[in-house]
């Protein structure tokens, strides 16, 4: 028996969220924000926290600095039930994102810090002995992991570990990832519509699917925001599942990560891909009923209740 269903490997940082800012920052001036929240950020961390809340046994594999942000990251994950023993402390400071909210719009500024330095050597060999599944996210924010992607995928294959990958957006928009070599080693590829098109250099979803289909290891799910998601299997069969529409969206921050946490939690239980997709659509929708990426995921019981009361659905977890 392996100790963990899922090892989440990837980025860790802190979000410093500023609200009620009087006007845009200007060089040489000082301005006030009315409100500040300092919280666990990063897409892989939101994924891990929510998968743990959904009942999966999750460990996090990452790198932080020897600083108070690193401690905040670890204690926040532990509070969510994520095992942090594979989080290393190194000499590069823990990164942070300053999120400046202006009503509906926001400006983000990120210092990547330790997450950009982490590479294959920082992954404890025991991770590959103790997990059944690896989830990788935000590759383009982590140049060390991007460089070593094949080392990770090959070791996973050797140990019989399934892999899910959500590349997320490339802030530099270079999309420097050879999907023809990477995707065959990935069990579930989880991009959103825009990312899939950018990665494949196409301008419509059909052409993008056509490009990746010959290389799919097993399956892909394309996340389409409030429209829902499209499951594409290796054999070319497809099923589109409309979103469980939430009429009172609090915010959609982390909806994609929450989708991933539901999909992968169902996948590691061995459920059919269609059931994993439905679970993902549900957890994506549940995400929009609470603040930020983890607000709605207090426990599996709470998530079950939201599914029943808001969406008249039963979650397969």
Ligand X SMILES: Nc1ncnc2c1ncn2[C@@H]1O[C@H](COP(=O)(O)OP(=O)(O)O)[C@@H](O)[C@H]1O
User: Rule CB under 6 A: is residue 262 a binding residue for ligand X?
Assistant: no
Q: List the interface residues with ligand X, window 172-201 (CB under 6 A).
A: 192
| Bridge-based pairing state of the strands 105-113 and 94-102 | antiparallel
| Alpha-carbon gap, residue 137 to 247, rounded angstroms | 29
Least distance (Å) between residue 258 CB and ligand X: 7
Residue 313 tokens read as: 């659905």
End-to-end CA distance of the chain: 20
Q: What is the DSSP letter of 185?
A: G
Q: Which does 255 bind (CB under 5 to 8 A by kind): ligand X, Mg ion, none?
A: ligand X
Please work out the total of residues on this chain that contact Mg ion, with binding judged by CB under 5 A. Answer: 1
Query: For residue 104, how many other CB atoms are within 10 A of its CB?
Result: 5
Least distance (Å) between residue 291 CB and Mg ion: 18
Among 42, 76, 167, 246, binds ligand X (CB under 6 A): 246
User: Rule CB under 6 A: is residue 228 a binding residue for ligand X?
Assistant: yes
Query: For residue 124, how many other CB atoms are within 10 A of its CB?
Result: 15
**Residue span 213-252 as binding mask against Mg ion, x where in contact by CB under 5 A, dash where not:** ----------------------------------------
DSSP 148-184: THHHHHHHHHHTT-EEEEE----TT------HHHHGG
Q: What is the DSSP letter of 263?
A: H
Q: Which is nearer to Mg ion, 25 or 225 (CB)?
A: 225
Among 41, 95, 256, 290, binds Mg ion (CB under 5 A): 256
User: Rule CB under 6 A: is residue 112 a binding residue for ligand X?
Assistant: no
User: Rule CB under 5 A: is residue 262 a binding residue for Mg ion?
Assistant: no
Q: What is the DSSP letter of 93?
A: P
Among 130, 162, 281, 294, binds ligand X (CB under 6 A): 281
């Amino acid at each position: 028996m392996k100790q963990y269903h899922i090892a989440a490997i990837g980025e860790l940082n802190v979000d410093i969220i500023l609200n009620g800012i009087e006007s845009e920052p200007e060089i040489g001036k000082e301005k006030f924000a009315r409100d500040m929240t300092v919280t666990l950020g990063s897409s892989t961390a939101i994924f891990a926290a929510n998968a743990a809340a959904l009942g999966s046994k999750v460990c996090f594999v990452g790198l932080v600095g020897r600083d108070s942000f690193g401690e905040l990251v670890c204690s926040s994950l532990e509070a969510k039930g994520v095992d942090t023993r594979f989080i290393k402390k190194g000499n590069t400071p823990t990164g942070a994102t300053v999120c400046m909210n202006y009503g509906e719009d926001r400006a983000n500024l990120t210092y990547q810090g330790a997450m950009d330095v982490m590479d294959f050597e920082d992954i404890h060999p025991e991770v590959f002995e103790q997990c059944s599944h690896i989830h990788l996210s935000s590759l383009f924010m982590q140049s060390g992991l991007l460089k070593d992607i094949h080392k990770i995928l090959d070791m996973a294959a050797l140990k019989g570990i399934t892999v899910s990958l959500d590349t997320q957006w490339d802030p530099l928009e270079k999309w420097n990832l050879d999907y023809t070599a990477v995707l065959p080693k990935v069990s579930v590829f989880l991009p959103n519509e825009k990312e899939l098109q950018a990665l494949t250099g196409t301008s419509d979803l059909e052409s993008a699917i056509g490009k990746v289909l010959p290389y799919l290891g097993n399956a892909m799910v394309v996340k389409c925001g409030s429209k829902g998601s499209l499951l594409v299997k290796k054999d070319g069969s497809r099923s589109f599942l409309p979103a469980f529409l939430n009429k009172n969206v609090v915010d959609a921050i982390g909806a994609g990560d929450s989708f991933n946490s539901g999909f992968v939690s169902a996948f590691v239980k061995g459920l059919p891909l269609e059931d994993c997709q439905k679970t993902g659509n549900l957890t994506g929708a549940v995400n929009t009923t609470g603040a930020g990426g983890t607000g709605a995921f207090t426990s599996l019981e709470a998530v079950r209740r939201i599914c029943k009361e808001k969406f008249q659905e039963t979650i397969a977890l």
